[in-house]
Structure 1
Amino acid sequence: MHAIRLHTFGPAENLVYEEVADPEPAPGQVRIAVAAAGVHLLDTTLRQGDTGGGPHALPALPTIPGREVAGTVDALGEGVEPRWLGRRVVAHLGMVPGGYAEKAVVAVEKLHELPDEVGEDQAIAMIGTGRTTMGLLRLADLAADDVVVVTAAAGGIGSLVVQHAKNLGATVVGLAGGPAKVARVRELGADVAVDYTAEGWADQALAALGGAKATVVMDSVGGELARGAVALLGSGGRHLVISWSSGSPLELTEEETAARGIVSRSLFGGPEWRNLIDTPEKLRALEDEAMAAVASGQLVPAVQRFPLSEAAAAHRALETRGTMGKVVLTP
């Protein structure tokens, strides 16, 4: 089979498309003929030899990156029920890499069977990014009367947050970089879509809201963009940190929050978050919720595809914020 292998930590160019032996499923595992593999921002960090301060250890080299795969079961390990053979499935591999390949093995208990109406690339967007979003939305507790500002609204998580908030009946302000992304945010249903690379974008957002203030900022960027978004909050508003693609979250001092009458807290990585994901059963419940949302059409994930052989280009695009939605590799 063909796979992407990393022999030396470093730049995206170190991802090599090459032939390797097909993996064989161990007892309790299946092998998936991969139709789509997910690319995560964490993959780019690990590729550089950095764990990003998270729980993932650096892999032994050479390694096949990637932890999200969807496709058709083409081989069974000992003890696996024959009914799985030929089924379309998606799985999150967990802490073990191996997804950037034409075939991958995974424990049978991690499988989700795909209904006909869900494509493999959509499933990839929901099995990892989607389950994270479901957890974040539980903690955010958005309501119909909220005015929600979403940073990186054209991204994998941001696009799902926009749709969820609109489904609730909330007013949504989506921030995105560049005309194409702004157009995508409008398609998602945002009431206001603003190009944060344009001068005076915060004033444009306020004008579009008719002077109303935001009640919630769902921030996945951090840095100066987050500070501009927080400026849109009214008294009693909430700044909720869900990730920080800029490299560091916006940290507001107690004096700043007190002076503004707002609350700033991180939804990701704190005690509440850990309580949501501290058992396989809880993770599975979030995955089930995400897969049900896409199967019902409640959430439609945005996907940007790259051929498996162009994994390096996918990494570069992700690192430079040149993507919209979930990045997916297709063998």
Structure 2
Amino acid sequence: MRAVQVTRFGGPEVLTVDDVADPTPDAGQILVEVDLAGVAYGDVIVRSGRYPLPLPWTPGLEVGGRVIAVGSDVDRDLIGRTVVATTVGQRGGYAERAIVSADYAFPLPDGLPLDIALTVFQAGAVARGLLAEMRVGSSDTVLITAAAGRIGSLLIQLAKSAGATVIGAASGEKSAAVMDFGADRALDYGLAEWPGQVRELTGGRGVDVVLDAIGGDTAEQALTAVADGGGRIGLYGFASGRWPDLDARTLASRGLTVSGPLGAVIRKSDAEQRDDAAQALAAAARGELTPRIHARFPLVQAAAAHREIEQCHSIGAVLITR
């Protein structure tokens, strides 16, 4: 079969398509013929060498496709079913076939297109978990950075469903798309005055909650727009390439709380994580959670898919096709 291989870390050009042996499912595993694979920013981080994994490495955590074989202890009735699932070891999705965990494979809900299910089941589960960890409720005003991205766009929708007021921040012209996802206001964090605009929108008080996936200067600027005396900052990514520099004295004197909600989300029990994914799929099937698909790239153009994300061109999800 064909699969994307990384044999050295570097730019998108290190993603090459090679012929490799077909995988075989062990106990608790399923073999899926991959129709679609999700492209996550985490794939970019690993490929670049900022979070190196053992080589050779095939990226891809999320896949969707038809079950063609199962491990010895897995229900054979799954064969022929279309599922969305996470890959074993969080690798191997950019391929014609992939091994997935039977415990984290979800049959496609009736009437829900595969691309929508793939885009929402994992990202939606993460978004649900982040909002729960940050205790977002109807009385909160929430600032979401990277709000035009896949998780950011779902965070907006779920936070609005919880009754919160949402300010979405994105870069440049992508900030216009933030309103399409349901945000109350959209800001361009490429403008120097954007933290002040957040203060103006909240009557000078600042927001109750920040959810930041960018890190660096953007997170540090967002910190200035959080309400003193109880504001919460959730850092769940560093797309800029670095985590923000935080001053403990400033945090203490302002009465702010900083947390890493993604670390808590990925440490939830398997049952809780499955439930979050199932709830996200159910919401999508009801039309209550609508992901946006920015682009699809064939397997041989995986490098182009990474460039699209790395250069911050994408609005919503980027997918790999066969």
- TM-score, structure 2 length as denominator? 0.89
**Structure 1 counterpart of 2:240, from 242, 246, 249:** 246
Whether 1:217 aligns to 2:229 is no
* Residue 259 in structure 1 maps to residue 253 in structure 2: yes
Listed one character per residue, the Cα deviations across residues 38-83 of structure 1 (whole Å, up to 9, x for unaligned) are 122222232234436xxxxx2342x322121101223445454342
What's the CA shift for 1:143? 1.1
Q: CA deviation at 1:15?
A: 0.9
Q: Aligned pair in 2 of structure 1 residues 108, 239: CA closer, same or farther (>3 Å)?
A: closer
CA distance in 1, matches of 2:254, 2:22: 58
1:191 pairs with one of 184, 209, 212: 184
After the TM superposition, which residues 1-331 of structure 1 pair with which residues of structure 2 at under 5 Å, given as runs? 1-26=1-26, 28-51=28-51, 58-61=53-56, 63-78=57-72, 80-179=74-173, 181-209=174-202, 211=204, 213-236=206-229, 237-269=231-263, 273=264, 277=267, 279-304=269-294, 305-331=296-322
**In 2 relative to 1, CA 204–49 (structure 1 residues): closer, same or farther, beyond 3 Å?**
closer
Question: For residues 197 and 36 of structure 1, do their structure 2 counterparts lie closer, same or farther at Cα, with a shift above 3 Å needed?
Answer: same
- Structure 1 residue 91, shift from structure 2 partner: 0.7
- Is the deviation greater in 78-87 or in 157-166? 78-87
How many pairs are equivalent?
A: 320
Contact 1:124 1:328 in 2 (8 A): no
1:55 counterpart residue number = none
Structure 2 unaligned blocks of 5 or more: none
1:283 maps to a residue whose letter is Q
CA contact (8 A) 2:38 2:118 kept: yes
What are the superposed Cα offsets for residues 14-39 of structure 1, whole Å, 9 maximum, x if unpaired? 11124444434445543222121012
Q: 1:246 deviation in Å?
A: 1.7
Instruction: Please state whether the residue corresponding to 1:89 is helix, strand or coil.
Output: strand
Partner SS state of residue 89, structure 2: coil
Q: Write the deviation string for residues 153-180 of structure 1: whole angstroms up to 9, x where unpaired.
A: 111221111111111221111000011x
**Cα shift at 1:113:** 0.5
Deviation by residue 1:238-297 (Cα, 9 ceiling, x = unmatched): 22222222223324323212333332232232xxx17x6254333323322332332233
Residues in 1 aligned to 2:218 and 2:51: alpha-carbon distance in whole angstroms: 25
Counterpart-to-counterpart distance in 2, 1:83 and 1:205? 53
Query: TM-score if structure 1 supplies the norm length?
Result: 0.87
Residues 166-211 of structure 1 show CA distances to partners (whole Å, capped at 9, x for unaligned) of 11221111000011x1121000111110111134223334444454
CA contact (8 A) 1:33 1:102 kept: yes
Cα distance change, pair 228–98 in 1 and its aligned pair in 2 (3 A): same
**In 2, distance between residues paired with 1:29 and 1:220?**
32
Q: CA deviation at 1:7?
A: 2.8
- Partners of 2:71 and 2:88 in 1: CA distance: 19
> Take 2:183 and 2:232, find their aligned partners in 1: how far apart are those partners?
19
For structure 1, the 5+ residue unaligned runs are 53-57
What is the root-mean-square deviation of aligned Cα atoms in Å?
2.4
Q: Does the Cα contact within 8 Å between 2:138 and 2:162 map onto a contact in 1?
A: yes
How far 1:86 moved relative to its partner? 2.0
SS at match of 1:111: strand
User: Compared with structure 1, are the counterparts of its residues 168 and 131 closer, same or farther at alpha carbon in structure 2 (3 Å cutoff)?
Assistant: closer
State which drifts further: 120-129 or 96-105.
120-129
| Identical-residue share of aligned pairs (%) | 39
In 2, the alpha carbon distance for the partners of 1:196 and 1:33 equals: 41
Query: Contact 2:172–2:190 (CA<8 Å) still a contact in 1?
Result: yes
